[in-house]
Structure 1
């Protein structure tokens, strides 16, 4: 088993390597990461959020670069907003400046290809990956496309602004620009980290023909229909969301490794993986070239199931073919069972025990992973998990070892037998410890308790390998069957390793190993399929901070490894080995907890802001990041104030649990102008104008009565409909401000709260001390927030 696992781990590591970045002297017709990095270094020189002077400088640079490419760039300046209804309605908007260039095609009336990336960054991050990498890759790809002649259709280079603020640039373009109606295909580039392979993770609906094109032209693609399915279920959005919802076909690419760098001050050109940029450019160039020069763009066709198979080949088939995969799997398993029965090595009673062992493994490994996450001491949240991301390789290794220990223990319990109480005790103890390390945890206790019940029912008399393995496969077959019915594009995740395991079972007569060469064949098959499972497990690990999901991949690995790890009846050594492996895994988790994670490469996040009351000048120094470093605490006490827990300032979407403040020296703020105006048509509007230098504003409104016909800058909005309900308006990059209009049937009252953010420290306040190398100022750290409230009546 150790040899199989070692081979699979090495193969998975090789499969996840990025290509060698090509140099400046690479042939003109191929993508060169080194050429793209010339642009990346300029774009990501400093943080450049929407509305900032640095972003205007990036805009000017990009219009110059597009002019050099002969794309005749235009700047679309527009205010755009998105609504998010709910119990606390939210409007996110601002003034954005999209940069649009066109490479003319032979047929100017044909549906056009849009190559899209966003050039703004979040506050506090240079954004070398998110999304300077996408922008620089797009410029290099457009250079190559132009060098290859006149495309069949127009190729539009769309560099959007305000993506980080809320998809504002994409919204403004696709809702208002004349070119938007001509776009027939969109390729978007994003990132959610600083490295890793570029994953084509999202398509529009009815993607069958698009996937056929993608498979035909892509080299070494990384993609699966599972990510498309999952992304639809998650609340995450990118610029691609806007055209996708409009029914426009396309592909969305991103790399997501090195998650610590995401939206961080260390997302610099020096820290960006040029191999990731090379892989992104290679993948997008292939599909962009095909979409630009093909006689027709791919149309709509039923969704396909697709994923990387062994090696770089992308396997795809219609969703109905998934039933064929399950039928073949069932036939192979039936053949294995028949052969095992012929050899008198099969018991139907053992099938139930094996099914119980598989269910126990799922439940207990999930509980153990939940426990491991809590033992680290890291909280849950964007900044809270930074400690784990700073030690990400050790953390992933710890989870791997815990997963191996859980699989060995479940296989020992069903094979050895007479482990009901000890197996139940392990599951229940893990559940109880979840509560001990993080407070009352009903989920952990419930899953651990369920695992204990399964152990009591399953681990009595020893089970033979053939019957137990059949039971393990039977549970997987039921799960794959359910997915084939409910989510057919995701069913392959279970169906493919299950088919491999069933084939191994048929060859080995469900693990009875006749003839003697069979173990070698099964081991090689297990290593091949296990590499595939490990690659998926790694992708989920770096993408989602829910480590209990890794139980799924431990279970999938067990489908393949079961005959190699199940203990013989009454054999005690495998149980001892399993417990030792579990202890080693949790020792590694303990190291994650105690080893100081912070360094100049992975600095501890800090957010310190100066918050001033607009009417009085009274001030506080705020720390807005959880677990602030000593530097931040000292910064709060600079003026002699005492640190206390506090409510987050208006406009900051943080938790009171992680918000600290201390009294600060009063300063002379410049508050925004907030006014109630009566419009000529009889309606009312509340307008907030930004003071000089302010980049972003928040306006919260709470009417005492019902209002109608609400607008944002004159456009209809579904807000201010419920008396007593706060509506929040976040507005960025607009010195002229924003106006919220409405109609009232009679006299009324509306309460308002405001905040403006200026990306500098007050000039008449004591400056912040220099940060140590292992601390970074994230997001709006170093900013001044001016707050206030007003009541308006009419």
Structure 2
């Protein structure tokens, strides 16, 4: 029973519903109608970006995987050099060795890289604008998205820039190598940065899928001048909150090394279609031309602006926040965001005081409703993720193994939104039976205002909450000044106040799904909750007269229908071939071979191969020593193990120094060495001239060792008469396994062939 009284007559239920549906449809239209530009063909003017011309480069380089140390990788590099030289750019290949101790799982890795660098000098340079992408791929993936779209964008942007007037600043194309092995090409470039570059702005291009909006998801600070350029670029998409969320994820790009080297710039990527990420199906024909055109239009325009900007003023731009609104990018100083959060809290406080004084609600009702709003919002995020989680329990093979996403996520996305909205509606309707409408609205607004204030230390967090909700709060305050019987005017004011929340909220919900279902569905659930709060004054008359039981049943039924539909459209055989991991390991010491996978069997085919329970296999996969792998016996292939040649062996004072040559007689693109910690402790190590991190369980993987292999120098304290080591090499062609025949309805993701041997030195 209500313990407060709303003195103004309630809005009619029917017209409130009509107003609510209208603004939500307006938000949907604003989000989807201008979603991407029309791809330009090869007949487009020379000074504009053409997706067709860019795609020709992608078709050329993304016909096969480009794994460092393979002939296809070398051929791709040669093509890129040739393409840039044909444009008249001064082109070279920067060689070096990159090294990292990170990764998941952590392992020391090195790569001989060959970065492709091309330059055109400016007329009066104040610095350098760099167009960057990486050209290597993971095993088994042709990489049309990751990072073919970046290659196509940079090459076509370079061509279009060259077709126009000579720019003021120097322009560089940087196509890095070894990104997939730990951002190693950009590491080599950054540590050898030439002072002649001057102030440098990098436009980095990436992908975690094959479609969707090309979003600038992070940038350096100060960012005022950068945002001035980005805001003037067509189809630019950026949001400070996206950067905040990305920094919390384990993913990374070459941009990390660029920023640590002191460069300024942007990191831009597409992320929809993540089921194709790092898979054999990441092919040119599956790459969205609309996404390619949007990324290209944005990069070309931004590069042109920066090419004629005084880059010496980069540090004068200030630290600004950016948000995407229907008319484009809106950027403003951080103090404006903080002031907005304070203004929202003040406006809500005024509303609460007025409502309490008018006895429309009590402080306890408002506080309790606010607390419940926060809890319900968190539950909405969890519930939005639940349909996809349940589907994976029933059919694990529905999820592509790298990103854990389905090919056709649409019905799951609808189920996520309905699940979140259904929970919010049912909880709000139940609460409305116990508290008056003003308490419900004030409590929700208060929760958002307090969260916005708490979010002010994090750029973009407060703006995400303030922009959709502040107009709604102001609208409610305005209605309190209107005569009690001015129902139509109250409806008009509340509708206008809720419109920004609907427009911004619906777009945020849709954009969340670009991050997939694993991360995107919970994000969408949060934005559903925020949109619900911003439009709550229009929901209130509907809540008051709605059956809670039937609403809950209706939401459950709709979620079930969407989830079942999603299962049908993503069923085995109805989509592109399902994907599975499969690795092969040959232990030449005992002449045995093993199939392995980091995932359990996902089909009858893999069940027949992976017959044993998951356990660690450290002798076969020493760089994944602690990871449990499903496995089973495999045919023994006639493969030659890695070779270790002792070049020098000296001992003095209980220490031993070894200089070894490690190579792969079968020409595998990667080799590795691990020291048995029971026989020695490594105190110093260099690999191909690069210093490695010593440890008691020292080991590494090295890519692109070349036909002559790599030199390894070890300084050890001897714990045994003989030093035990294990060596491996790794390639990606499973056809070398006798009798291997992949099924026509499956593709193997990142196929690996590992040959190992143990020896004593």
Any residues of structure 2 matched to 1:374-393 within 5 Å, and which? Answer: 374-378=389-393, 383-384=400-401, 388-393=405-410
Q: Which residue of 1 aligns with 2:755?
A: 786
Among residues 166, 169, 191, which one is paired with 2:207 in the alignment?
191
> Once the 2 structures are TM-superposed, how far is the Cα of residue 600 of structure 1 from its aligned partner?
7.2
Q: Is the 8 A contact 2:202 2:263 kept in 1?
A: yes
2:442 matches 1:470: yes
Q: Partners of 2:625 and 2:512 in 1: how far apart?
A: 26
2:510 matches 1:538: yes
Q: Partners of 1:366 and 1:356 in 2: how far apart?
A: 16
Q: Which residue of 1 aligns with 2:690?
A: 715
TM, length-normalised to structure 2: 0.88
Any residues of structure 2 matched to 1:679-694 within 5 Å, and which? Answer: 683-694=657-668
The 1:611/1:534 distance shift into structure 2, 3 A limit, reads same
Q: Which residue of 2 aligns with 1:79?
A: 97
Q: Which residue of 2 aligns with 1:452?
A: none
The 1:111/1:133 distance shift into structure 2, 3 A limit, reads same
Q: Which residue of 2 aligns with 1:668?
A: 638
The 1:194/1:762 distance shift into structure 2, 3 A limit, reads closer
> Once the 2 structures are TM-superposed, how far is the Cα of residue 342 of structure 1 from its aligned partner?
7.6
Q: Partners of 1:575 and 1:193 in 2: how far apart?
A: 41
Q: Which residue of 1 aligns with 2:490?
A: 518
Q: Partners of 1:643 and 1:703 in 2: how far apart?
A: 28
1:192-250 Cα distance to aligned partner (Å, 9 max, x none): 111111101111233233223322x2223210111222233322211111111112111
| 3-state secondary structure, aligned to 1:683 | strand
Among residues 375, 380, 405, which one is paired with 1:365 in the alignment?
380
Among residues 72, 75, 82, which one is paired with 1:64 in the alignment?
82
Q: Which residue of 1 aligns with 2:424?
A: 407
Q: Partners of 1:165 and 1:569 in 2: how far apart?
A: 54
| 3-state secondary structure, aligned to 1:270 | helix
Q: Partners of 1:651 and 1:327 in 2: how far apart?
A: 55
> Once the 2 structures are TM-superposed, how far is the Cα of residue 383 of structure 1 from its aligned partner?
4.2
The 1:697/1:657 distance shift into structure 2, 3 A limit, reads same
* CA RMSD between the two structures: 3.2
> Once the 2 structures are TM-superposed, how far is the Cα of residue 151 of structure 1 from its aligned partner?
1.5
The 1:385/1:788 distance shift into structure 2, 3 A limit, reads closer
Q: Is the 8 A contact 1:412 1:575 kept in 2?
A: no
- More divergent stretch after superposition (224-233 vs 508-517): 508-517
Q: Is the 8 A contact 1:225 1:306 kept in 2?
A: yes
| 3-state secondary structure, aligned to 1:130 | helix
Q: Which residue of 2 aligns with 1:25?
A: 43
> Once the 2 structures are TM-superposed, how far is the Cα of residue 26 of structure 1 from its aligned partner?
1.2
Q: Partners of 2:557 and 2:734 in 1: how far apart?
A: 50
Q: Is the 8 A contact 1:713 1:738 kept in 2?
A: yes
Q: Partners of 1:57 and 1:786 in 2: how far apart?
A: 26
- More divergent stretch after superposition (559-568 vs 158-167): 559-568
Among residues 703, 715, 725, which one is paired with 1:752 in the alignment?
725
Q: Is the 8 A contact 1:85 1:718 kept in 2?
A: no
Q: Which residue of 2 aligns with 1:615?
A: 589
Q: Which residue of 1 aligns with 2:59?
A: 41
Q: Partners of 1:99 and 1:320 in 2: how far apart?
A: 42
Q: Which residue of 2 aligns with 1:448?
A: none
2:748 matches 1:731: no
The 1:747/1:584 distance shift into structure 2, 3 A limit, reads closer
Q: Which residue of 1 aligns with 2:252?
A: 237
The 1:51/1:599 distance shift into structure 2, 3 A limit, reads farther
Q: Which residue of 2 aligns with 1:584?
A: 558
Q: Partners of 1:323 and 1:375 in 2: how far apart?
A: 40
Q: Which residue of 1 aligns with 2:28?
A: 10
Q: Which residue of 2 aligns with 1:505?
A: 476
The 1:369/1:329 distance shift into structure 2, 3 A limit, reads same
1:167-193 Cα distance to aligned partner (Å, 9 max, x none): 121112222364785461111111111
Higher RCO (C-alpha 8 Å, min separation 6): 2
Q: Partners of 1:468 and 1:652 in 2: how far apart?
A: 55
The 1:317/1:471 distance shift into structure 2, 3 A limit, reads same
Q: Partners of 2:101 and 2:156 in 1: how far apart?
A: 35
2:242 matches 1:227: yes
2:69 matches 1:51: yes
Q: Partners of 2:132 and 2:667 in 1: how far apart?
A: 30
1:98-154 Cα distance to aligned partner (Å, 9 max, x none): 11111111246x422211111122211111111111111111111111121222122
Unaligned ranges ≥5, structure 2: 1-16
Q: Aligned pair count?
A: 729
Q: Which residue of 2 aligns with 1:203?
A: 219
Q: Partners of 2:106 and 2:282 in 1: how far apart?
A: 32
Q: Partners of 2:528 and 2:676 in 1: how far apart?
A: 50
> Once the 2 structures are TM-superposed, how far is the Cα of residue 474 of structure 1 from its aligned partner?
0.7
The 1:508/1:586 distance shift into structure 2, 3 A limit, reads farther
Q: Partners of 2:623 and 2:507 in 1: how far apart?
A: 37
The 1:509/1:659 distance shift into structure 2, 3 A limit, reads farther
The 1:164/1:598 distance shift into structure 2, 3 A limit, reads farther
